[in-house]
C-alpha cells in the first residue's frame, strides 16, 4: 500500500500533445511571447541537454516508465513564473499510476512545476495557499513550523505532489474525522486553455488535468490534538490474520471518528518460506496513556514520520526530501467494497499472494508482463467480491485496463465505459464542464474527461 500512494508525485507535471513538428518552432514561439531578451531558454530542456535525463527521472517514482521503449517528451519545461506556463500553453496548441504525466503516443511537452511550490500559512483564519509544485511533505512541514495544533487531512507519503493529490480526492489518516483533502479545498487558481489565470472553486475530485493547469490551492487547516497515538500490529495467517481482517471489515466504519485503522496485506519472506501477513496500522487522535510497546504517543507531525518508516528522533526536515524512501515497479488496480468479503473470498486472495512470483525488481518487458498478468488475475478473482454496475475504482490508482480514449477520436459514449468506474453518475456532469471550459479538448490524455457529443 505504501508503494501505491507514491504515484501521486507524477502529477507534479502536466503533459499534453504538441502540434509543432520541432522544438525549434516552439522555442521561437516562446521567444515571441517573452520578447527578444527572453530567458526562456533557461527553463527549456531538449533531449540533448545534460539535465534532461535528471529532470525526467527526478520526480518519476515508478521506474517501470523509465525503460528505453517508453516515449519521451520532446522538451521539458521547468517554469519559475506563472507567465512561463501561460506562454507554454499558447505555444503548444494542439499525472499518475499509468505514467500519463510522462507518456503520450504523439509528440508532447512536459511542464514540471517543481519550481512553483511556495506555501503560505495563515493561522488567524486557519487557511493556507500552496502551489501545485509543492509536495505533501513540504506542506506538512510548513504547517508544523507554525502550529502544533493544526494539520491537514491528506495522504501520508511526503513525496506526493499536492497538485494531482488534491484534484483527485486525497485520503490519509485524518479522513474519518475531516474527510478527504478535496473536502478541505476552499479555492484554486488555474491557467485555462486560453492561457488566462482564473479563479475557480470547483476543481475538486474530477482530476484537474482535464480542465487546465492548476497553479495553487487555498486550503482549510484542521485542528489536531497535541498528542496522538499510533501503532502497527502484524499478524500472519497462523496467528489468526483472516479472522482479524474479517472482523475489521464489519467494524471499520463504526469506530469513533478519531480512530483510523487500515490493513495492509502483503507476502513476506520468513526464512525460506513465503507467508501472508496482515499489518494493522492505526492513528488515534488522543493519548492513551498505555505502556505497551506496540503503542507510541507522539504529536501529529511525528505520526507522519512514523507511518513512513522513519526512526524515532529523525528530524522533521526529512519531510522535505522529494524522493521516496521506497521506489518500486508496480501496476495498480483498485476496488470499492460495499459488503464484507467472505472467509472463502479472503482465503482465495491469500492463496494468490502465496503463488505470486518474486518481487518486481527488473525493468524488462518480460518481467513487466509477468507481474501485470498476476495482478490482472487477482483482479479477475476479486470481481464477485467488490462493487458492481459499475465496478468502482479510485481515479488516482490509474488503471488503463478499464479503457482509454482513442487517439484522434474521443467519443463520450466510449469514454463512459471506463469513466463511470471512476465517477459513477457524475461523469456526464464532468463532461459538461469540460465541454464548456475546453471545447477543443486541448487538455487530454488516455483517460481525460471527454467532450459531450453536442459540442
Class of domain 2-112: alpha beta
Of 45, 189, 397, 422, catalytic: 397
119-223 topology per CATH: 3.30.465
Q: Is 397 a catalytic residue?
A: yes
Report residue 255: phi and psi, to 5°.
-70, 165
**Which pLDDT score is estimated for 105?**
57
Residue 64 pLDDT: 66
Burial 98-121 (b: 16+ CB within 10 A, else e): bbbbbbbeebbbbbbbbebbebeb
List Cα–Cα distances, 452 to 93, 183, 418, in angstroms. 21, 27, 15
Angle between helices 365-382 and 343-354 (to 10 degrees): 170
pLDDT for the residue numbered 260: 96
pTM: 0.86
Identify the bridge partners of residue 200 per DSSP, sorted by sequence position: 188
pLDDT value at residue 5: 28
CATH of domain 228-298+339-385: 3.40.462.20
User: 241 in helix, strand or coil?
Assistant: helix
Equal CATH topology for 119-223 and 228-298+339-385: no
* pLDDT means over runs of 10, the chain (455 residues): 29 37 70 62 82 79 66 84 85 53 63 92 98 96 97 94 88 96 94 92 77 94 97 95 96 95 92 91 85 82 94 91 74 93 97 83 78 93 96 92 82 93 94 93 89 82
Long-range pairs for 253-258: beta carbons < 8 A, 24 or more residues apart: 255/176, 257/176, 257/177, 258/176, 258/177, 258/284, 258/285, 258/286
Alpha carbon of residue 248 to chain centroid: 26
Spell out the residues 6+ positions from residue 147 whose beta carbon is closer than 8 angstroms to its own.
121, 123, 221
Inter-helix orientation angle 343-354/241-251, to 10°: 130
DSSP state of 342: P
Is residue 216 within 8 A of residue 129, CB to CB? The reply is: yes
Which pLDDT value is given to residue 109?
Answer: 79
* Domains in the chain: boundaries: 2-112, 119-223, 228-298+339-385
Burial of residue 285, with CB atoms counted within 10 A of its CB: 0-12 exposed, 13-18 middle, 19 or more buried:
buried
Asked if 91 and 193 touch (Cβ cutoff 8 Å), the reply is: no
Is the separation of the CB atoms in 277 and 241 below 8 Å?
yes
Amino acid at each position: 500500500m505504501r508503494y501505491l500512494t507514491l504515484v501521486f508525485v507524477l502529477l507534479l507535471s502536466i503533459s499534453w500533445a504538441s502540434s509543432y513538428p520541432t522544438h525549434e518552432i516552439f522555442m521561437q514561439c516562446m521567444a515571441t511571447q517573452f520578447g527578444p531578451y527572453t530567458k526562456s531558454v533557461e527553463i527549456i530542456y531538449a533531449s540533448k541537454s545534460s539535465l534532461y535525463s535528471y529532470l525526467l527521472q527526478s520526480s518519476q517514482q515508478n521506474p517501470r516508465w523509465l525503460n528505453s521503449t517508453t516515449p519521451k517528451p520532446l522538451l521539458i519545461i521547468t517554469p519559475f513564473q506563472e507567465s512561463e506556463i501561460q506562454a507554454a500553453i499558447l505555444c503548444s496548441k494542439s499525472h499518475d499510476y499509468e505514467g500519463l504525466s510522462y507518456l503520450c503516443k504523439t509528440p508532447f511537452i512536459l511542464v514540471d512545476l517543481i519550481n512553483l511550490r511556495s506555501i503560505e500559512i495563515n493561522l488567524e483564519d486557519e487557511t493556507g495557499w500552496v502551489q501545485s509544485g509543492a509536495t505533501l511533505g513540504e506542506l506538512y512541514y510548513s504547517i508544523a513550523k507554525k502550529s502544533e495544533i493544526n494539520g491537514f487531512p491528506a495522504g501520508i507519503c511526503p513525496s506526493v505532489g499536492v497538485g494531482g493529490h488534491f484534484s483527485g480526492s486525497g485520503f490519509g489518516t485524518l479522513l474519518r474525522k475531516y474527510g478527504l483533502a478535496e473536502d478541505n479545498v476552499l479555492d484554486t487558481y488555474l491557467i485555462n486553455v486560453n492561457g488566462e489565470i482564473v479563479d475557480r472553486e470547483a476543481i475538486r475530485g474530477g482530476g484537474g488535468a482535464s480542465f487546465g493547469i492548476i497553479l495553487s490551492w487555498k486550503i482549510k487547516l484542521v485542528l489536531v490534538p497535541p498528542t496522538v497515538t499510533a501503532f502497527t500490529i502484524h499478524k500472519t495467517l497462523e496467528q489468526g490474520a483472516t479472522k482479524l481482517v474479517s472482523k475489521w471489515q464489519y467494524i471499520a466504519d463504526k469506530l469513533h471518528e478519531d480512530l483510523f485503522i487500515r490493513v495492509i496485506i502483503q507476502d513476506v519472506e520468513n526464512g525460506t518460506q513465503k507467508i501472508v501477513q496482515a499489518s494493522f496500522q492505526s492513528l488515534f487522535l488522543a493519548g492513551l496513556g498505555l505502556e505497551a510497546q506496540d503503542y507510541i504517543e507522539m504529536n501529529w507531525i511525528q505520526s507522519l514520520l512514523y507511518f513512513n518508516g522513519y526512526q524515532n528522533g529523525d528530524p522533521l526536515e526529512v519531510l522535505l526530501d522529494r524522493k521516496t524512501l521506497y521506489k518500486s515497479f508496480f501496476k495498480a488496480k483498485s476496488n470499492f467494497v460495499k459488503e464484507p468479503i467472505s472467509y472463502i473470498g479472503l482465503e482465495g486472495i491469500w492463496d494468490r499472494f502465496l503463488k505470486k512470483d518474486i518481487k518486481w525488481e527488473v525493468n524488462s518487458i518480460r518481467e513487466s508482463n509477468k507481474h501485470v498478468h498476476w495482478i490482472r488475475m487477482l483482479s479477475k478473482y476479486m470481481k464477485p467480491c467488490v462493487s458492481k454496475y459499475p465496478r468502482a475504482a479510485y481515479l488516482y490508482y490509474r488503471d488503463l485496463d478499464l479503457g482509454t480514449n482513442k487517439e484522434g477520436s474521443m467519443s463520450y459514449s466510449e469514454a463512459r465505459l471506463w469513466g463511470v468506474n471512476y465517477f459513477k453518475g457524475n461523469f456526464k456532469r464532468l463532461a459538461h464542464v469540460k465541454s464548456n471550459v475546453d471545447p477543443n479538448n486541448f487538455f487530454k490524455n488516455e483517460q481525460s474527461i471527454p467532450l459531450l457529443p453536442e459540442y
